[in-house]
Structure 1
């Protein structure tokens, strides 16, 4: 969805929206619902060094790479942002995002807090959206209910989640995921709606 610059007759470049939120908040479910609503939105596929979870498909959910490949991509400037989260590195391939925006397609990135800060610094016009749980207790229940990870890993994710939720004021908008479809509809409105406020944030990088 794109418009024109006032008084210019030139089509405005679509917005870049960055979605972030703690592990277990339901980002994947909300994005899956959003894809059904508006498949024409460009959904960036991140690169990561972490091990795939059950059911995840390489190239669809993430591009899974080894640490050496990740470092090469970062050093070559092929990543719009890259950050470390819970002991693994994540990054956003730059070229597909730029191509989508240049082609008039709204783009959506799902990345962690460190990466969101980098995108804000590199692209101040980007819109940062936090997906938040209805309550802290709800998030704890979602994480511990997975049963797929070591308790120490879950404890670390909860620690990181506290830090992420504490950064809420750095985001332009907050969507509470009490209901997946409702949250997806709210996110869609933000992705294709009027531009929101922006603010610069410091960069943090995964070396």
Structure 2
């Protein structure tokens, strides 16, 4: 997708055909976010039955304030060049490219609460066209619902902190080609990070 910004830097449109950004590079961006969060283990799972992709890490996690920054739709100009991070446009850009409905669940050390963020990309496009209000496609909470907590507990890595990203993918991803592409991509990511203190599992 292509992101269009208004004079204040806020996203006002999102259309098909982003140059140089693919599903593969989007997933790599999200994995890099986990690496930047000092994760020592990252898992990439594809649920073929429900057409969902999961990226789970045991990194530092995010508090509610940080998670809310991810929900703000504006272009960051002060982002450090040497990090991808979970704070810049990179993660959002990845979500837009892949599409679908996203849930982000995160927990920090010494905090029992699991914070949550939900993005609906199709509704975001409707918002960009001034068809719906902002709050109708983004939902965040300081304490996740019981269903989301169960999801986090089911997939979490055994750690005091971490982040779970889940995307209910668009229908066009329901095919064997995507599964093969993801498997190949994970191998490439594993090679890329083999000399770092981070284990990539699939």
Bin for the TM-score computed over the shorter chain:
under 0.3
Whose strand fraction is larger, Structure 1's or Structure 2's? 2
Q: TM-score, normalised by structure 2?
A: 0.25
